[in-house]
Structure 1
């Protein structure tokens, strides 16, 4: 087995499990059965095909279908056993010295319906409850270990942003430029996969679009969509050629050792219209004002309302976070192992910020037929507000 130099430390895994166990006990749930890849990785250090049982009290048990040898190499858990069939789950739990659960939690926000019905048939007497909220709340507040990896990802985001002017030329297609940027990210160690939890949500690196193509809306929960290469993808760069004096949007994710940094920068070949330059500066100002407000205890919904008020004050409501019925009702989102983690800085959200949460704040303006301006940075919540982790030039970069 290849030696791993990036395994999650045992103390880190142990602390995560303790936090979830406290929530399980408070909810009177005997244990949680975890199957989703990202949650598996978070609580066990591996995404090998497994069932992870975390009892409310006691040591967790990782039951592995494939690959057992790799799971034992990657995970610091002390109890890792082979699993030939899900039918053996309760027997393995009992044989490990744990009491079989009467009330068991599962990730019902992501577990496919057919899988749910299968487990209900296997264990008809079990009271199955949703533990997705406790899991996501534990994951929302990052440890020092996680923050160190996110800071590294953010530094790589800056390098990608700084490489963009050396790659950009008028006349090249969006997809050609995207390929060059993505190759640069890959050279730096981008893992390739960008994970999202929301059903049906997909992304490949991010969005790189220019001029009117950047303002084309699409299905994704994002202020931007893009003309794309075809209707099967329906987001991102297209075969459209980049022209002079139009804004070019680089909204890319850097995923490093599992963890994500999300950032947006605007470029141009030549000079964009002054109206768009002024609009971009308004978004930089809005960002700074929201950062100062985003202190621990502040509700996510309050920040969203404040951003909407600022956009209205600047006379930009019509273009803020989308145009017309395609406008989205958030200005930011948590990031970590997934791109869509808690908290969501969105309309009506009551989640209160806590120190250690990581938030991608992305105020953007969409001008149909013209393009997109705005900013996005990854931040960590501190006692004084949002501490910005991505630092590449925030103004429109002219090539």
Structure 2
């Protein structure tokens, strides 16, 4: 067992005390990417298992598959570990049941009221819980949990800062490898390896390395395209450390800028991004940050080429609330971590995006990603 994020559980117990909910469940089929609340409640990744918060007793336990028992014991925050599907010697409670459903019935009173984030599990698992506890006693707490996750704890901020350092390093190392004729895929692969070397436990499946005309595609996936003199190159890298994500984008040019307008576009995007970051502080709305960036790009005549929101929250998921868009009036508060990533994309010409991660602090903000943003010609 490792040290628990006490700040997180203080908030959790305070939020759900008196709601009538007896237990909060964290579950997910991790091979389908449903790991958010396993990590959020246990502090680590545990497969084939159910994480349970006893709201009234303020305890945390797991109903854990025998194959995962040792990992849960070494790396999780669980106060108690119930083992199903077999038995283990040591500080475990071995159950008679061979499967998770029967184990739930063995450990938890079926008259209990259960809270779980419906958006983190399959519909079939919800139906299974409803068959055990009744439909009325299985409650969707997706919104409540997401609201708690908006404000990061000190524990979470430290891990996000490390993830930011890792994506800094990945982009920096990839940019050093740029030579004429190298492919986008080769650059992405190098960045991926370097981020794992720097401590990432997960690197996003599709790193964006977009060169030349394909830089005008915001979600381009690294391809067999080769780098040519004059190309803009967009690096958008995502990696996680202890489950918490880092997300950063830089646009550079190889040898020279082959289309002069791209220099103006770069300067416009940089101005928009820096100006939007400058207004971030508690009390500012997410929509205000978007408005600031968008107004600068529109004033420069490129409004119709800024085709996505200005940013998003980051944490245990790469895209979390809030979204920095005109439609999201979420008020920023201390502990929020957001990206600011305006971009301009002109088909046939190219695109530029610059993205940083920003922590909202009590007196303003702190930029967590630190790579140089001045126009760079490699």
Q: TM-score range by the shorter chain?
A: 0.7 to 0.9
Deviation per CA, 1:127-162, whole angstroms, max 9, x where unpaired? 222111222222221222222222222223222232
- Looking at structure 2, the residues matched to 69 and 153 of structure 1 have their Cα atoms a distance apart, in angstroms, of 26
Q: Which moved more, 1:179-188 or 1:274-283?
A: 179-188
CA distance in 2, matches of 1:331, 1:163: 26
Distance in 2 (alpha carbons) for counterparts of 1:193 and 1:250: 14
How many residues matched?
354
* Corresponding residue number in structure 1 for 2:41: 43
Give the structure-2-normalised TM-score: 0.87
Q: Which residue of 2 aligns with 1:360?
A: 339
Does the 8 A contact of 2:279 with 2:289 survive in 1? yes
SS of structure 2 residue aligned to 1:122: helix
In structure 2, what is the equivalent of residue 253 of structure 1?
238
- 1:31 aligns with 23
CA contact (8 A) 1:334 1:342 kept: yes
Question: Contact conserved, 1:355 with 1:383, CA < 8 A, in 2?
Answer: yes
Q: Does 1:73 align with 2:74?
A: yes
Question: What SS does structure 2 have at the residue aligned with 1:57?
Answer: coil
Asked whether the 8 Å contact 2:38–2:45 carries over to 1, the reply is yes
CA distance in 1, matches of 2:238, 2:343: 16
Q: Note the C-alpha offset of 1:171.
A: 1.5
Shift of the 386–284 alpha-carbon distance from structure 1 to 2, 3 Å rule, reads: farther
- Cα distance in 2 for partners of 1:265, 1:125 equals 48
What residue ranges of structure 2 are gaps of 5+ in the alignment? 29-34, 85-98
Higher RCO (CA-CA < 8 Å; seq separation 6+): 1
Aligned counterpart, 2:89: none
Deviations 1:80-100 (A, max 9, x none): 111333133143024xxxxx6
* Inter-CA distance 372–386: structure 2 relative to 1 (3 Å threshold): farther
TM-score by length of structure 1 reads 0.83
Deviations 1:204-225 (A, max 9, x none): 3x21110112323xxxxxxx12
Q: Which residue of the other structure, out of 181, 184, 202, is the alignment partner of 2:191?
A: 181
Equivalent residues of 2:105, 2:132 under 8 A apart: no
Structure 2 residue 287 is matched with structure 1 residue 287: no
Aligned counterparts of 2:165 and 2:184: Cα–Cα separation in 1? 24
> Hey, what's the Cα distance between the residues in 1 that align with 2:322 and 2:15?
18
Aligned equivalents of 2:255, 2:3: Cα separation in 1: 49
8 Å Cα contact 1:266-1:395 kept in structure 2: no
Q: What's the offset of the Cα at 1:101?
A: 5.5
Instruction: Quote the RMSD (CA, aligned, Å).
Output: 2.1
* d(CA) in 2 for partners of 1:372, 1:335: 24
Return the alpha-carbon distance in structure 2 between the equivalents of residues 265 and 297 of structure 1.
28
Offset of 1:8 from its aligned partner?
5.1
| Aligned-partner Cα distance in 1 for 2:53–2:136 | 16
